[in-house]
């Protein structure tokens, strides 16, 4: 999983799987869910991220209760 923010575009991208999106669904104005070839969620994009989420939320990310070892 990878989370990036492009400050020039103010776009937050959450890549859930390293797959090229084949389709997308607009969840609301400026929030898009990216889908892989089989229709599974592979990412989320949020435009105007600093306005929607706030600068403090973009400056820090909390990761909680994830497994400590990678799955086989």
**What is the Cα 66 distance to its own chain's centre?**
17
Q: Is residue 64 part of a domain?
A: no
Give residue 19's domain range.
2-52
Within-domain flag for 58: no
Number of domains in the chain: 1
Per-residue pLDDT of the chain (72 residues), as tens digits, is 999 999 999 999 999 999 999 999 999 999 999 999 999 999 999 999 999 999 888 888 888 887 777 665
The answer to the question of residue 22 being in a domain is yes
The answer to the question of residue 38 being in a domain is: yes
Considering the domain boundaries, does residue 9 fall inside one? yes
What does the block give as tokens for 33?
A: 């869910």
Task: Tell me whether strands 2-6 and 11-15 are parallel, antiparallel or unpaired.
Answer: antiparallel
Number of neighbouring beta carbons within 10 Å of residue 12: 21
């Amino acid at each position: 999983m990878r989370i990036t923010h492009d400050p020039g575009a103010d776009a937050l991208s959450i890549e859930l799987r390293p797959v090229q999106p084949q389709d997308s669904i607009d969840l609301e104005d400026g929030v898009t869910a990216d889908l892989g070839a089989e229709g599974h969620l592979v990412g989320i994009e949020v435009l105007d991220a600093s306005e929607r989420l706030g600068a403090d939320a973009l400056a820090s990310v909390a990761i909680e209760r994830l497994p400590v070892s990678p799955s086989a």
